[in-house]
Amino acid sequence: MFWLLEHQRAFVAEKFAAEGSNIAINYVSRAEDKARDTAHKIESEYPVKTALIEGDLETQDDCIRIANSSKEALGGLDIVVSNAGFTKFTTFSDLDGLNEDEWDKCWDTNVKEHLHLFKAVLPTFKQNPEGGVFIITSTIAGVAPSGPSMAYSVTKAAGEFQDFKNLTGSTAMKLNSHI
């Protein structure tokens, strides 16, 4: 499952690069090699710029730093793909499979990250003449009780239904010329 998610993230970055987008790749330290490989592949195949930015989207401070570093490295931001996720693999029905800190990390990464990142990039989108695009990705585990743990499924459901419909939807209605 982890490989598939990493593969999908690289695939999305490559698709945007194929359309001429410069790419900022955020990664956590354990995935640095994968991020470097993805950046190298993109730069060798497409005439675009890449920037590697380490950081944990679990924290608001890192979301702000990552957004600002991406804007600085690329000279602006037009599109942000919010695709973070965290889980610990357990038996789905095991209520004790994750401790309180792991549940909190799931919530912070799978739900609150979208809000923190969106708030961090919104001023840039407002300054852009054509606004910006904020894309939130999720998983089928947010629609049906499934996935690698109950915490993952619950937080992805919360992120999908809260963030997709309320965060970006209501904000886009208020700022329709920018989002």
The verdict on 61 and 140 lying in the same domain is: yes
The verdict on 82 and 16 lying in the same domain is: no
Asked if pLDDT for residue 63 goes beyond 70, the answer is yes
Rounded Cα gap, residues 52 and 66, in angstroms: 10
Which phi-psi region, left, alpha or beta, contains residue 85 (left: φ > 0; alpha: ψ -120 to 50)? beta
The verdict on 71 and 1 lying in the same domain is: no
Q: By mean pLDDT, which of 42-51, 71-80, 84-93 is the weakest?
A: 84-93
Q: How many domains does the chain have?
A: 2
The verdict on 156 and 84 lying in the same domain is: yes
Domain boundaries, position 80: 57-179
The verdict on 28 and 101 lying in the same domain is: no
Task: Name which of 65, 83, 106, 79 is nearest 6 in CA terms.
Answer: 83
Domain limit, last residue, from 32, 54, 76? 54
Question: Taking a C-beta distance cutoff of 8 angstroms, is the pair 89, 138 a contact?
Answer: no
The verdict on 28 and 77 lying in the same domain is: no
pLDDT for 47: 97
The verdict on 50 and 62 lying in the same domain is: no
Q: What is the pTM of this model?
A: 0.83
Rounded Cα gap, residues 173 and 34, in angstroms: 37
Q: Please, what is the angle between helix 100-107 and helix 150-158, to 10°?
A: 30
The verdict on 3 and 43 lying in the same domain is: yes
Asked if pLDDT for residue 78 goes beyond 60, the answer is yes
Our measurement of the distance from residue 8's CA atom to the centroid of its chain's CA atoms, rounded to an integer in Å, reads 12
Asked if pLDDT for residue 60 goes beyond 90, the answer is yes
